[in-house]
Copies of this chain bind each other. A is one copy, B any other.
């Protein structure tokens, strides 16, 4: 009995090492990761190809088999990840893991297909929801994680930007409706209808399927476009600027770590590994880390070479 528990725990630790251990360098887990990424991409490719009638009709069987196998793998992956949660010292319980965004994405990747077993909904709509498996790639991209952190942090400014865009859209649609609804009752017959033109215009897409034709409508449309282009670009500007801030902050984090490591004049093996782990966690490139290392070193040297402006004596080498 205790033997089983021990071997169970050993197995769980083994699986944790394969699936979740950070900074694993062994080729086994690396290959597994690549295989999972390839499987996700193949799944999305399959969803896309299934919508092409000629391909679907010739290969329906193959698609179904592939979907079955994929579903089994993703279910197994979800259950294993749930099982090995206690192996990670930082995450407290299985319930809290299940509520983490990354676990919800894993669940969304298998849920639609499972639902079908119980509730018979339209297979066509269902197939499209398999697209959600694409989100599973988030786990493997630190840079994407950085972008999501930016969204989370700049949420306030971001929603303010969207709110202004909404305001502009509603005003644009109201004005266009006022000017055009008698002349073009099909395209501008009501504010919700005019909204289609407003969205296409303020986002600068400008399909041209619907355009104002009265003089008043054209003048109003020109004014609202000129005023509106700045507004529509706001969310993009906010994200870009937030991303800049985020990268800056993460670089500072790494820089602090470098400085701390260099306090005794040398970066030992353990410190190198800590810095490398932090670098990966922050999603910074090796090149960026090298730039920071260089800057910290040169800063160190300046300090050593400099003399105190009070007493004229050189600073002590640390």
Contact = CB atoms under 8 A, between A and B. Distances in A.
> Which 7 A-B residue pairings sit nearest by Cβ, starting from the closest?
A237-B240, A233-B236, A143-B160, A205-B206, A207-B208, A230-B235, A208-B208
B163 A144 contact: yes
Interface of A: 44, 47-48, 51-53, 124-125, 128, 131, 134-135, 137, 141-144, 146-147, 152-153, 155-157, 159-165, 167, 169-171, 173-175, 177-178, 181, 189-192, 195-196, 199-201, 203-209, 211, 218, 221-222, 225-226, 229-230, 232-241, 243-245, 247, 249, 256, 283-285, 287-288, 291, 298, 308-313, 315-316
A308 to B, nearest CB: 6
B205 A225 contact: yes
Contacts of A174: 47, 128, 131
A168 to B, nearest CB: 10
A247 B150 CA distance: 14
B239 A241 contact: no
Contacts of A234: 147, 236, 239-240, 243
A287 to B, nearest CB: 6
A287 B47 CA distance: 39
A142 B157 CA distance: 9
Give this chain's copy count: 4
A232 to B, nearest CB: 6
Given A131-B170, A134-B170, A156-B143, A243 B241 contact: yes
7 contacts: A137-B163, A142-B156, A153-B287, A229-B233, A233-B236, A244-B244, A310-B315
Given A204-B206, A312-B316, 17 more contacts: A47-B174, A48-B170, A51-B181, A134-B170, A141-B160, A143-B160, A207-B207, A207-B211, A208-B208, A233-B240, A234-B236, A234-B239, A236-B240, A237-B237, A238-B240, A241-B243, A310-B313
Contact of A203 (B131, B146, B171, B204): B204
A196 B222 CA distance: 7
A244 B147 CA distance: 17
B206 A52 contact: no
A262 to B, nearest CB: 14
A306 to B, nearest CB: 9
A135 B143 CA distance: 30
A122 to B, nearest CB: 10
